[in-house]
Structure 1
Amino acid sequence: MSRSIKKGPYVPDHLMKKIQVGDPKKTIRTWARASQIIPAMVGRSFEVHNGRKFIMVNVNEEMVGHRLGEFSPTRTFHRHGGKMAKQEEQAVQAKEFAKNNQAKK
């Protein structure tokens, strides 16, 4: 369910002050992942905390209306598999290598 239009976008006061007063070239470090991106933020860069470190987010026009946290992933993907997946990957690489050698001849 989306936020009511009469309420406006959610941007914390401390973040709004930094946007209005601060230098446009300076990055703004924030923990406010839930704050919505507004047109005043376009062209600025933010460092958004993902729970462990800060991720650099450069705001452009397509991001307006989204949340800052959407562009700072909190989970890292470690691929699935193990011994069997490794063998399949090696088989695919061997086939590609064979194709490349035949193409050269």
Structure 2
Amino acid sequence: MARSVWKGPFVELQLLKKAEEAQDKGARAPIKTWSRRSTILPQFVGLTFNVYNGQKFIPVSVNEDMVGHKLGEFSPTRNFPGHAGDKKGKR
């Protein structure tokens, strides 16, 4: 179920603060975060986030098309290796 419109998008306050500091300084260093549930805001465009997927940090470069989505959508938590039957037939 979607979040109520009157509440606004959820963003971890610490993450928002780090992003604003990075925009002001023009820093190119990625921002490390565990907050996969935070919504991507227009202020995040052009920044790089290292989003934790439960095992390692995945670099996510934010562009305009990502606004409104969650950070976790761009760092997959599962790796599908493929079906064993498909590998036998291909040579």
Common topology (TM > 0.5): yes
Structure 2 residue matching 1:48: 3-state secondary structure: strand
1:42 deviates by 0.4
What are the residue-to-residue correspondences of 1:3-42 with 2, within 5 Å?
A: 3-22=3-22, 23-24=25-26, 25-42=28-45
Q: Aligned AA for 2:6?
A: K
1:79 deviates by 1.6
Residues 31-73 of structure 1 show CA distances to partners (whole Å, capped at 9, x for unaligned) of 0000000000001000000000000000000000000000000
1:26 deviates by 2.0
How many residues are matched?
88
1:76 deviates by 0.7
Larger proportion of helix: 1
Q: Aligned AA for 2:80?
A: F
What are the residue-to-residue correspondences of 1:75-90 with 2, within 5 Å?
A: 75-82=78-85, 85-86=87-88, 88-90=89-91
- Stretches (4+) displaced over 2 A: none
Structure 2 residue matching 1:55: 3-state secondary structure: strand
The unaligned stretches of length 5 or more in structure 2 are none
Which has the larger Rg? 1
Q: Aligned AA for 1:6?
A: W
Q: Aligned AA for 1:7?
A: K
If the length of structure 1 is used for normalisation, what is the TM-score?
Answer: 0.77
> Following the alignment from structure 1 to structure 2, what is the Cα–Cα distance between the partners of residues 51 and 67?
16
After superposing the two structures, state which structure 1 stretch, 68-77 or 22-31, moved more: 22-31
Structure 1 residue matching 2:90: 3-state secondary structure: helix
Structure 2 residue matching 1:79: 3-state secondary structure: coil
The unaligned stretches of length 5 or more in structure 1 are 91-105
Q: Aligned AA for 1:89?
A: K
If the length of structure 2 is used for normalisation, what is the TM-score?
Answer: 0.88
Please provide the CA RMSD for this pair.
1.4
